[in-house]
Amino acid sequence: MIHEVLNVIIRVLLVLATSFLFGIVFLAYLRIRSKKMLFILIGFGIFFVHALIYIPELFVEDFRLVLTENLHLLIHLIALIFIALGMFKD
């Protein structure tokens, strides 16, 4: 029981942290409006959407997205590539 509660708390806190970072990058993009910030924003947006998709499975037992570990790694790799493109642009 404690393990499930701890899992929910950690996942929700990670989603909040990801949304906080996405919000900061989004506000920076609105202020700067460059392709560099756009790539970084897309990368953090992918992380944010990926985190949001997995919140319902914590609360609804029937809701399960079956993604392999390799697909999770591919999603993270794509997000990191966008962030790296943004950092190395210029």
Is the CB of residue 44 less than 8 Å from the CB of residue 79?
yes
Q: What is the predicted pLDDT for the residue at 4?
A: 84
Q: pLDDT tens for residues 3-16?
A: 888 988 998 999 99
Token pair for residue 65? 């997205």
Looking at residue 5, its amino acid is V
Q: pLDDT tens for residues 12-69?
A: 999 999 999 999 999 999 999 999 999 999 999 999 999 888 888 777 777 777 778 8
Closest CA to 22 of 52, 8, 43: 43
DSSP 8-state secondary structure symbol assigned to residue 35: H
| pLDDT-based confidence at residue 83 (cuts at 50, 70, 90) | very high
For the entire predicted model, the pTM comes to: 0.86
